[in-house]
Amino acid sequence: MQSDAPTARVAGIIPADLELPGDLARARRVVGVTDERLVHIGERRPTWQEFCLAHMAEVLGAPTYLGYRSDRDPRRVEFVAEVGAPKTWLLVAVKSLVSRQEAWVSTAHPVKPRYLTRRLATGTMRRAQCGP
């Protein structure tokens, strides 16, 4: 995060040993979220905004799956974990600007198991794994 972003706050921290896809291994691991993105999440899914905010850090810190589509946006990684009560799959999308050492939440929303099944089958999502 940059100090010149006055409406930014820390959304969560990606574990240092988590293997990120593409060229994102050097990406910043402290992820910010701006007020503008929080408004976006609330506008898109108002009934889920509080849930997303409450569990964003948990998903970034211990994802079960990572989504990546290099053909769409090689800077974007989707972190997915089952969180909350009742357990719900939550996707937190992060855009990394490696050259500026910045990482920002672009959106967050719940996903259904069939969505995960489809993404795993197409190879655009994989189980998250930590390196050596």
- pLDDT single digits (tens) 71-121: 888 889 999 999 998 899 999 999 988 778 889 999 999 999 999 999 999
Under a CB-based contact definition with an 8 Å cutoff, are residues 27 and 98 in contact?
yes
- Dig out the tokens for 76 from the structure: 């974007």
Q: What is the pLDDT of residue 23?
A: 79
| Angstrom distance (rounded) from CA 93 to CA 6 | 21
Note the pTM of the prediction, 2 decimals. 0.91
Judge whether residue 54 has pLDDT over 90.
Answer: yes
Judge whether residue 1 has pLDDT over 50.
Answer: no
Q: What is the pLDDT of residue 2?
A: 47
Q: What is the pLDDT of residues 2-38, one digit of tens each?
A: 445 557 799 999 999 999 987 788 788 899 999 999 9
To the nearest whole percent, how much of the chain has pLDDT over 70?
95
Q: Average pLDDT in the 47-65 region?
A: 95
Indicate the domain borders of the chain: 8-124
Regarding beta strands 65-67 and 125-127, do their DSSP bridges make them parallel or antiparallel, or are they unpaired?
Answer: antiparallel
